[in-house]
Amino acid sequence: MLLEHGRLARLLSELRRLIVLEITEHVPIDDYATLRDAIAALGHQVRLAIDDAGAGFASFRHILELRPDFVKLDRELVRDIQSDPSRQALVVGMRYFAQKTGCTLISEGVETDAERAMLLELSIEFGQGYLFGRPTPVAELSLGVTA
């Protein structure tokens, strides 16, 4: 694992900008205390994100144990949220959790204006998804950088 033996800390030691380390529910964690210590050792420029919140028990346990800076709401919670009171209620609960713990919610997989509008109505201000843009290879981006 990249966090073991300080490997990631060495890679990040020269950086002078914010880095977001993202953990998914697919990453099995046997020892949360050790992981918390390893993340803390990376320094104040590293923030933590938990991906796929709502996709399974592991993501909620990751959130409770690791106290992330960002929680990314799984696409399954976002899909057709405008017409599903159960999804809306769960997202409002997550928003309450985020307010109480100081983390930021990010909705994943926003694909329609109706989903975006409902998320904004529920006070979820950050999102990603095809509605906002498709992934683009770096070689095709105009970064405005000149030599």
Q: Is 108 a catalytic residue?
A: yes
> Catalytic: which of 22, 108, 121, 125?
108
What residues have CB less than 8 Å from 124, skipping those under 6 apart?
A: 73, 91, 95, 105, 107
Q: Crossing angle for the helix pair 57-66 and 32-40, nearest 10 degrees?
A: 50
Which residue is listed with tokens 């975006």?
116
Contact indicator for 44, 65 with CB cutoff of 8 Å: no
Residues 83, 115: Cα–Cα separation, whole Å: 9
Catalytically active residues are 108
